[in-house]
Structure 1
C-alpha cells in the first residue's frame, strides 16, 4: 500500500501545485493545503483518473476514508469542505475535470449534502482523540511525573524573558574553580593505577578513611558521590574485572583549553542529582529523588534568585504531593535542602548568601542544557556584550522583525558601524552554505550606509558575498565599484531559491513563478547551472520534482546533468 500511496502522491503533485498557485486569486478564502488527502484517497479508493469525479465519490472519500486518516480534524472541520469546493471549481474551470465526470453543479450539490455529516464526523473524531490524549496524559502523569520533572513547568519556562548566557571564556574560568571537580580529581589521583575493588563494597573501610584524609573531607558521607562524579568526568575508569585506574589526563585538571574545561564540566552536569538527600530508608530516599532539580527550576522561574525559606516551604509541599511518603521523607531528612545546596554550590551552579540562593552564570548555562535535553523551549541567547556577529545572524532568523531590529541595535551600540559591517560580512563568509545568514548579513550591513564601504570592498574578494558587495557599492555610486555581473545576479537568485526551498514546496514553486513565464525560467536554467553555488544541484533537482510545467522540468533535468558533469 505504501508504494501505491507514494506513486499516487507523485502523480498528483504537479496538479496540486497548480491548484495551490490558482487558489489565492480564485478562492482566497480556502486553504489549498487541505485538499491533498482528499485528492489522494479519491485516486486510491475511488477512481484511477485523478480528474474523474462522479456522484458518490465525495461521500465515499469524505465520510468513509478521511475520518480514518485525517491528521488535524479541527482544521478539516473548519476548512476542508471549502477547500474541496475550490478544488472542484479549479478542475472544472481549467479543463481538468475528465470526460465522464458529473457536472460541477452536481458535485458541488453533493458536497453541500455531505457537509453537515462531515463536520459532525470530524467533531466526533476530535472528541475521541481528546479523550484518548487525556487518558494518555493521565497515564503518563501517573507513571512518569516526579518531583524533579521539568515538563510541568514548560509553559512557564517558555514565557520567561530572554535569558542571557555568558561567553565560554567566563564560564570556563568559573568551571576551573569548581571544588567538587577538584575533589573528584584528587580522589582519582589517590586511586591511582590498577587499584583492586571489592564486589560488595568498592573500597575497604581503611581505604575509605585514607581517601577521606587525603581529600581533607570532614567525613565519608560524600565519598561515593565523589567517586561517581570522578567516573562521570572520566577521571576514573574500570580497566579490568576488579580494578580501576585514573585517566592519564586527570592530573592536568584544570585544563588550559576552555573547550576542554567546559566539556568536562558538562560531563558531570547530571551529577546534580547526587545532591538529593540520602536517607537510611530507600523508600524515603526515593520520595525525595529529584529535589535538586526541583529547586533549580524554581529558582530559574523566580528570575534567578529566591529565598531559601520560601523554597523550603514550597518544596516540602511538592514532595508531599508527588509521593505518599514525601512528608515523612522530608521530616526524616531534617534539612533536606542542606545536601542540595551543598552540591549545587560545590558544582558552581548556585551561590547562597543569607537566605538567598542565586543561579550563577555557570548554573544558568547548565540548566539551559538540561532543558534542551528534554526538548523544553527556553529563550536563551548570548549576552549582548558576548554575542558574535554569527550569533546575531543565527538567532535573528527565529525572531520577529521588531525583536531582531532591537537585538541588532543593542549589538551595534557596542561597536562602531565600520567594525560591525566587517564582523557581519566575515561571519557570512564563514557560512558559505547558509544563504539565509548571507542575506541577513547583507541586509544589516546595507543599513549601515557609507561606513560599510570598506567592508563591502573587502567582501568583493569572497565569491559568496561578491554579488551583494557589487550590488550595494553600485547602488551607493562608489567610485570604481564593479558593476554586478550576470553571474552575480544568478547567485542572488539561487540564494533566494535556497531560502524559499527551506520554507516549503509551495513557497519554492512560487519563487520560481516570480522569475516570469515558463520560457523565461527555461532560459535562465540554460545558463544558471554554470554558477558555482553550494546548492545548485539540489535546487535544480527540486525544480525538476516540483514545477508543474513539463518543459521547465526537462530544462531543470538538463541543467542538472550539465552541472554534475561540469559541462
Structure 2
C-alpha cells in the first residue's frame, strides 16, 4: 500500500501545486491543505484517473474513507467541504475534469447534499477524540511539538531581542531567500506548469543551474522526484510570495521579487517572517513515506532544545537527545533515524543546512547556536503555539515605548530594574524627552501616559525642559503642569480644574480595565461624584463617553447613575 500511496502522491503533486496557486487568487477563503488527502484517497479507492470525478466518488471518499484517516476532524468539519468545492471548481475551470466525469454543477449539488452528513461524522470524531484524550493520561505529542516544554520555556530567563534594523540586515544575508528569488526570477513571467510535473526535465535542469544545485545521478526515479531540494526552494518562493499564480496553469515571479534584498527594514523582516514556517522543509526526506513522517518535526525539535539551553548546545548532545526523542515519539522513529543517517551521513545535516540557510543558527566547533534572527523567529513560533515566554527587546535596543509597554505589565521591582538599566544608557534630560514623546503617540493609552509621568517624575529637575515641551501636548499638559508646579518652576502655568479632571479620567480609565469591583472602588475614592459629573463632561478626554456610560451602569447609587446619564447626554450633544 505504501508504494501505491507514494505513486499516487507523486502523480497528484503537480496538480495540487497548481491548485494551491489557483486557490490563492480564486478561493482565498478555502484551506487548500485539506484537499490533499481527499484527492489522494479519491485516486486510491475511487478512480484510476485523478481528473475523473463522479457523484458517487464524493460519498465514497468523504463519508466512507475520511472518517477513518482524517487527522483533525474539527478543522475538516469547518473547512473540508468548502475546500473540495474549490478543488472541483479548479479542476473544471482548468480543464482537468476529464472525460467520464459528472458535470461540475452535478458534483457541487451532490457535495451540498453530503455536507451535513460529513460535518456530523467529523463532529462525532471530535467527541470520540475528546473522550479518548480524557481517558489517556499521557497525551501523545509529535516530535516537533512545543507543548511538552511549556513549563521549561516559561521558566527561562528573560530573552533579549535585537532591534528591527539589525534583524533586517541579517535577513538580507539569508542564502535561502536569495535562492528563492533566483528561482522566481528564472521562472519569469507566465511560465506554464505541467500536469505530471511542475517543470519538464529540461526546465528542471535549467532551474538547478540557476540555483547552483547539482543535478542528481540517473536512477530509477524520475528527475522531478529526485530533486526535493528544488521543490523546497520552489515552495519557499511561494511562501514568500515571490511566485504568484498568473492565469490557468501558469506561474509568474512577483513584480517586486527581483528587488530582494528589500531596502526597507519592515519589508525585509516581513518577507523573512512570511517564510518562517519553511523550517519544516529541513526535516529529512526519506524513500519510505512513513519513515519521513516519523521524523517530521525534527527541525522544530532541534530549535526548541537549543533555546532551552539558552541559545547554544553541543551538536553531539543534540544528536543523542533527538535520536532518543524520535524513537520515543514513533514506533518507526529508530529505524527512520538509521535510514536518515544512511542517506545524509547525519540525520541533522538537512536540518542544520536549512536553518543555517535561513539565518537561524550557526554551527561552529560542533556547537549549534541560535542567531539573533533565529531567536526572534523562535519566539514567534513559541507564541504561535500559545506558550508563554518572557521575551523583551535588549536594553540597548529598547525604545521608550517598549520600556513603558513592558513596565506596565511587570511587578514593580522588576519594572524599576528595567528602568534603571535603560537609564544607564542615556542622560536624564534625554530620557525624559523620549518617554514623554512616546506617551504622546496615542492619547487613548492612559496607562502608558501614567507610567511615563511616573518615570519622568522620578528624574527631578533634569526633566523640566521635557515637561515644558509637554505643555503643548493636550494629553500630557495636565501631568506637565502638575509636575512643574511641584518642582516650583517660576514661569510654569498652574494646573487648572480641567487638568485635574483629565487626571481623574485617566485613573478611571485604568481602573475600568481592572474589572467592576476596582472601578466602583475608584469611584468611591473620588468623594462628591455627582458634582464632579456635572462638570467633567466638558473635558475632551478620549474615553469620556465610555467612562460615563460605565459609571451609569456600574455604580450602585441611583443618584450617581442618573448624573452619569445626564453627563453622557451632554457630552454627546457637545461633540455633535
Compute the TM-score of the two structures, normalised by the length of structure 2.
0.74
* Pair 1:215 & 2:226 matched: no
Q: Does residue 477 in structure 1 map to residue 484 in structure 2?
A: no
Q: Supply the distance in 1 between the matched residues of 2:250 and 2:134 (Cα, whole angstroms).
A: 46
In structure 2, the CA distance between the partners of 1:353 and 1:137, relative to structure 1 (3 Å rule), is farther
1:504 to 2:515 alignment: yes
Alignment of 1:1-400 (within 5 A): 136=133, 142=139, 145-219=141-215, 220-334=227-341, 335-400=346-411
Bigger radius of gyration: 1
Aligned to 1:540, which of 548, 555, 575? 548
Q: What is the distance in 2 between the residues matched to 1:221 and 1:512?
A: 66
2:4 maps to none
Partners of 1:428 and 1:557 in 2: CA distance: 31
Does the CA contact (< 8 Å) of 2:282 and 2:354 recur in 1? yes
Contact 2:133-2:139 at 8 Å conserved across structures: no
Q: Give the Cα separation in 2 of the matches to 1:215 and 1:311.
A: 30
SS at match of 1:278: coil
Partners of 2:287 and 2:134 in 1: how far apart?
34
Alpha-carbon distance in 1 for matches of 2:289, 2:572? 65
2-structure distance, mates of 1:135, 1:498: 46
Q: How many angstroms apart in 1 are the aligned matches of 2:555 and 2:508?
A: 13
Q: Are the equivalent residues in 1 in contact too, given 2:243–2:252 (CA < 8 A)? A: yes
What is aligned with 1:446? 457
Q: Does 1:417 align with 2:413?
A: no
**Aligned counterpart, 2:572:** 564
CA distance in 2: counterparts of 1:341 and 1:181, whole angstroms: 16
The number of residue pairs the alignment matches comes to: 432
2-structure distance, mates of 1:555, 1:234: 57
Q: Cα RMSD (Å) of the superposition?
A: 1.5
The answer for the alignment partner of 1:402 in structure 2 is 413
* Secondary structure of 1:526's aligned partner: helix
Structure 2 residue matching 1:321: 3-state secondary structure: helix
In structure 1, stretches of 5+ residues that fail to align are 1-131
State the Cα distance separating 1:201 from its structure 2 match.
1.4
1:312 match: secondary structure: helix
SS of aligned partner of 1:164: strand
Q: What is the rounded CA distance, in whole Å, between the counterparts of 1:194 and 1:346 in structure 2?
A: 28
CA distance in 2, matches of 1:137, 1:440: 45
Distance (Å, rounded) in 2 between the aligned partners of 1:137 and 1:548: 44
Once residues 399 and 431 of structure 1 are traced to their aligned partners in structure 2, the CA distance between those partners, rounded to angstroms, is 21
**Residue in 2 aligned with 1:433?**
444
List gaps (5 residues or longer) in structure 2.
1-128, 216-226
How far does residue 240 in structure 1 lie from its aligned partner after superposition?
A: 2.5
CA distance in 1, matches of 2:410, 2:210: 53
